[in-house]
Amino acid sequence: MLAELRKVMPDAPVIYAADLAGLPYGEKSEAQIAARVAGLLGRMAERYQPRLACIACNTASTIALGMVRDVLEIPIVGTVPAIKPAATMTQTGVIGLLGTAATIRQAYVDNLEAEFANCHNLLRHAAPGLVEAAELKLRDKKVDMGVIEAAAHKLRDMPEGERIDTVVLACTHFPLLEDELREAFGPEVQFIHGAQGIARRIVHLTQDQPFAADPSNRFVVTGDLQSAQPLLPVVKNHGFSGIELF
Q: How far apart are CA 64 and CA 144, in angstroms?
A: 32
Strands 121-126 and 76-77: unpaired
Instruction: Judge whether 26 and 98 are in contact, CB under 8 Å.
Output: no
Which residues belong to the active site?
Answer: 57, 171
Q: How far apart are CA 8 and CA 188, in angstroms?
A: 30
Contacts by 228-236 with C-beta closer than 8 Å and gap 24+?
228/18, 228/20, 230/138, 230/139, 230/140, 231/18, 231/138, 231/139, 233/140, 234/138
Amino acid letter, 205: L
CB atoms within 10 A of CB 122: 25
- The residue among 79, 80, 73 whose CA lies nearest residue 51 is 73
CB atoms within 10 A of CB 130: 26
DSSP readout, 20-71?
GGG--GGGS-HHHHHHHHHHHHHHHHHHH--S-EE---HHHHHHHHHHHHHH
Strand partners, 121: 94
